[in-house]
Chain A
Amino acid sequence: MNCAEFQRELPEFMEEGGNAASQAHLNDCRDCSGLVSSLEAIIREAKELQTSEEPSPRVWNSIEIMLRQEKLIREPQTSGHRSILPSLRQHWGALAWLVPTAAALLVGVGILLYQQRPDNARRAAVAKPAGPAAGANIQTADVSDEQLLQEVSARAPMMRAAYESNLRDVNNYIRDAQDSVNADPNDEEAQQALMDAYGQKSMIYEMALDRSLP
């Protein structure tokens, strides 16, 4: 099993512990074991927040949109729940919001790790749009970000530059915070910084998708 395969199975691994192949890869791969440690730390921190208020439905919507963009969840094939989120609520009760939150964090961290691989970074660079201004200043190859920017461009072109610039800043924040966590997984302030960074990115997505645009 390679890193990409492991990261594809990461949601199951985090929930159920994974199979022997996953465990074997985890024992051998420093990057993936660091990723798992970080996620476990984030989930631990999140559990301590369980007494706080549940996020608004808009947060759920933003997370769901992110998950769909990453193809981690799909449209239901039969008439059932419109979203996986209500079923999570039924099974996890008050802690249900931890699952998508951890998944969203997981997606973000996974994307970052994926991009940090030299071969993927080269591929992503090649895949960047070649239009005159489109994406010219984008230093991140984050697919979700690009989709968001396309959405912003389509609806409110004048706001694209601001979103582009702020996403770039936040991605740098996430990268630095992730590096700090990797350097010392027990550093609580680094973990907090990583959560803050993801919080800022989540805020940008929420603003773009929920209310800033016509």
Chain B
Amino acid sequence: MQRSQYLIELGAVVIVAIATIAVAETKKEYRFEVGPKSKVSIVNQFGSVSVKPSTGNFVSVTATTYSDKVEVDQNQSGNRVDVQSHLLSGANAENSRVDYEVLVPADASVNLESATGPLRAERLHGDVEAEGANAAVDVKDMSGGHVHVKTMAGPITLTNIRDGHVEIDSVSGDVTLTSVTGPLVRVSSTSGRIQYNGDFGYAGEYRFNSHSGNIEATIPDDASVDVTAQSVRGLVQNDVPLQPKVHTSFLVKEGSSFAGTINKAASSVWLRTFSGKIHLKRR
């Protein structure tokens, strides 16, 4: 008898808990008709933003909130759609989280912001800007658009990006680039690690610099690059058979710098760190 009463009480607690969660979690969907090359901005304080291509000329935003301390403001002005989390009195980082699932036309340009993230974008052709202090940023399968990412501590992962300018700034977040090519690929970091895995494309300019973070680039034998690498106080290591350069802007010093070319030297690769280690590897 006691056991059945215990089970009844437990069941009641579970039902109340589920009901509470269901009430607290609210999902709303917003839909906007847009033309070609629209501009979509999602400004979130705390929570995730994920963007994928839609199947037509519309923007769909599904926002999930978890309390009544935050609401979603949205506005459309012609081809521009702005959505932002609006914190209300009593809001804090815990109760004002909003998670956004966004669909945009593939040619749209998007601006994503969240302090905590994560921020994700994939399979778009327009420009992508992503920014968040601690947000992890993951961008993949993009072509033709520019990709600009800024984080303070959040890690940044870019995969299969081509034909656009890529500019990354992170203070301490690790930056991982895989198959990222374009006319300009720039990464600036203070203490985060920079990892590049790819062939540096053709006729691009690649500039990676850090203060104390290590820089590691892994390239195939058929990569065509002109590379200079220098660490003021750290070590450099080169596993790639480079043709030495006659003229460099700095004095090449064994162990702390190297410079050379491989194949037709189509792309320029500039690696600099103050106290980090630089390692150029063969794939």
Contacts and interface: CB of A to CB of B under 8 A. Distances in A.
Given A156-B93, A207-B133, A212-B132, A166 B153 contact: yes
Contacts of A196: 188, 209
Main secondary structure of the interface of A (DSSP, over half): helix
Contacts, number: 88
Interface string B81-116: 000000100011100100000000000000001010
7 contacts: A162-B133, A169-B212, A177-B211, A177-B274, A197-B190, A212-B132, A213-B45
Interface in B175-228: 188, 190-191, 209, 211-212
Contacts of B43: 211
Contact of A193 (B87, B209, B212): B209
A211 B114 CA distance: 8
Given A170-B171, A197-B211, 8 more contacts: A162-B134, A173-B190, A176-B275, A196-B188, A199-B188, A200-B188, A214-B87, A214-B93
Contact of A162 (B152, B169, B232, B250): B152
A172 to B, nearest CB: 7
A204 interface: yes
Interface residues of A, number: 28
B115 A211 contact: yes
B233 to A, nearest CB: 8
Chain B interface residue number, banded: 20 to 34
A136 interface: no
B131 interface: yes
B115 A156 contact: yes
A164 to B, nearest CB: 11
